[in-house]
Structure 1
């Protein structure tokens, strides 16, 4: 059972933990990418994103297994050769934007829920991430997997409660609202920029020993990651179209439900989700730095990890305070989406697949 969890559930839980972030977790990304196409069109778009996630994750896991690339620097050096630095530049920019989104969302949530200054919520998020990344891979992986399970439970309760109160409206909107054009491309766009976090999962796929395990784990990870988003999106359809313009759709629905205990439960879950996303992203950078130390025959100091976290989070939170959550998601992700499609997805599904096939030929020849 332990090996099954490590091979087939843990990679998906970690990927979901990082993808969910401040946008998907609050519903803002879902409102931005999917809801403009109508409730049914949004679900179609999400299915497109799921298919792309599963395919790219499966190919990434197999490429990492074949090449022994378990940090993003090694992975992209094997995939892109001397051009691997392009991914690092784009990934670091993406991280700053995502961490800014989470920092802004943490501040918004703390202010809306408990009346705290927004900087207090953002500062608490920063401190929690620093503490978590200080202890390295085992604690990060454990926290991400346990919190993902809690997230599933809370999102299911959230959906069930919403449907109990306004299920007839959700069903009516799903069945009567028109599907607007562009849902296919927005599914591709959403999948494209989220694929940039695949390297975050690499440290957790070492237990994968065969191609079947890698491919199965990859497709399962896509499904595991999208399921809570589907729960959330269906709940959002009960409040369409007004919810499309809400800065925090989760708070909009919780206010409409008016259930105190569910509001507290969801807010605690959401704050933990912000922490796990931030920790997962920064941990991937720390793993890349640690691999560089190992290449030089040295060991990375334990105190470098929280220092990296502090610098990246401080820059990100300052950006969040100056720009705001809605604008960060609406404007910040656009260009990087196309960059990641160009420097990751297309090379992986062409050059990467070719290198996997070449590795097969060498293996047969050696055998």
Structure 2
């Protein structure tokens, strides 16, 4: 029997591990390439870093409610999750299905495209060969189940967090010393003097949109988060994730604010900025970090799709092996994503992510943070009430003190 402290340590370790999955899934397109950060936050000027923090808060609170609803009711698929969320309305969960299929293609395509671009830039590997290599790695890591995904993304997440903070911190301190850059404080002050709060409505829209399309990882998060059996576990896990995501994304935005004159329209703003710093070792470290980020994004996104379709009856008739079924589904979605990746990283993020983000505001973010929050709170209250009734009725009936609870007595509990 493990000690109380051992159980507590294991629980915190598991919460961190699940939180790291969300961090790793966001890392690739989110801040490692700098592309998403550039499209959604840099244009906001001084509001960019603040919006990044609010965005990550919205995302983690939404996924906390999703995991809590999934685990407390012992659901078995994301379809059941959204049926519970939208109840009593019927068939609304189809909207999430549409969002999810499109976003899986967009997210995995962006990850593969970004990683292939990095390989082409750093190792002079042909872009199309890079697409195939990255697709093969994502395939191998996806087909062996939730435990491997959780472990792989935890280690990748730690490496990503450390190296990204190192790179962004150095980049921030070097602004103003490299031709074409300006200090972060000067960039923010200049924007505030020029625009004030004029960009606030746009910042709110971007925050909710960005959090919305990141919700593509909900199917993966509810599967890897199944061991988080209590509301407190789900909350702890997401606070870990919020801290990691908010720190990394905010540092990325702050650094890029000072380097906009250097990277211009590059599809990999962070890599271009890193190369301009004149530190070859830092570029190597960043390239490794970038590949880890993009692979982890691809793995966590594909896994949610694979978990959904590998258990359908037609595939079970083909093979009894869950690994074989997972391999078939994973191969299909990666092959399709590799085709879409030929459209280019910037176009995928600007158009594919943007429109899916608008849809997610209405069908995911707002419902989970309002109706979902209320339903989870009510469900927990009802469960606690039922638990007290069952406990009192389980006492020996021979004692008047422990007589079964009557309907009249229930009303006073």
Which TM-score applies when normalising by structure 1? 0.91
Separation (CA, whole Å) in 1 of partners of 2:339 and 2:310? 27
Q: Does 1:35 align with 2:42?
A: yes
Aligned to 1:175: 189
1:5: Cα distance to partner?
A: 1.3
Deviations 1:195-254 (CA, angstroms, capped at 9, x unpaired): 232232112222323323322333332232232112222221221345453221012111
Query: Which of 126, 149, 173 is equivalent to 2:135?
Result: 126
SS in 2 for 1:68: coil
Segments of structure 1 that go 5 or more residues without pairing to the other structure are: none
Structure 1 pair 76/292, CA: closer, same or farther in 2 (3 Å)?
Answer: farther
Give the one of 342, 349, 355 matched to 2:369. Answer: 349
**Counterpart residue number, 1:103:** 112
- Pick from 335, 345, 360: which aligns with 1:314? 335
Residues 30-59 of structure 1, C-alpha deviations (whole Å, 9 max, x = no match): 000000111x21112112202212321222
Matches within 5 A, 1:224-239: 224-239=244-259
Alignment of 1:275-314 (within 5 A): 275-290=295-310, 292=312, 300-314=321-335
TM-score by length of 2: 0.81
CA 1:247 to 1:204, structure 2 compared with 1: closer, same or farther past 3 Å? same
In the superposition, relative to structure 1, how do residues 71 and 24 fare at CA in structure 2: closer, same or farther (>3 Å)? farther
* Distance (whole Å) between structure 1 residues aligned to residue 13 and residue 76 of structure 2: 19
Q: 1:12 aligns with which of 19, 35, 56?
A: 19
1:245 aligned counterpart, secondary structure: coil
Q: Which has the higher contact order (CA 8 A, sep 6+)?
A: 1
CA drift of 1:154 comes to 0.6
Q: Is 1:262 aligned to residue 282 of structure 2?
A: yes
Q: Identify if the C-alpha distance between structure 1 residues 300 and 77 changes in structure 2 by more than 3 Å, giving closer, same or farther.
A: farther
Deviation at 1:279, TM superposition (A): 1.1
Structural mapping, 1:179-198, within 5 Å: 181=199, 182-198=202-218
Q: 1:335 to 1:290 in 2, by over 3 A?
A: same
Structure 1 residues 355, 73: CA separation in 2 closer, same or farther (over 3 Å shift)? same
CA distance in 1, matches of 2:174, 2:357: 37
Which whole-Å CA distance do the structure 2 matches of 1:273 and 1:121 have between them? 15
For structure 2, which runs of at least 5 residues remain unmatched after alignment?
1-8, 178-182, 390-413
1:31/1:243 contact within 8 Å kept: no
Answer yes or no: is 1:143 the counterpart of 2:157.
Answer: no
Higher helix share: 1
Partner of 1:112: 121
Aligned residues: 363
Name which of 163, 183, 193 aligns with 1:154: 163
Contact 1:173 1:237 in 2 (8 A): yes
Q: 1:307/1:119 Cα in 2 relative to 1: closer, same or farther (>3 Å)?
A: same
Give 1:72's aligned residue: 78
Give the aligned partner of residue 22 of structure 1.
29
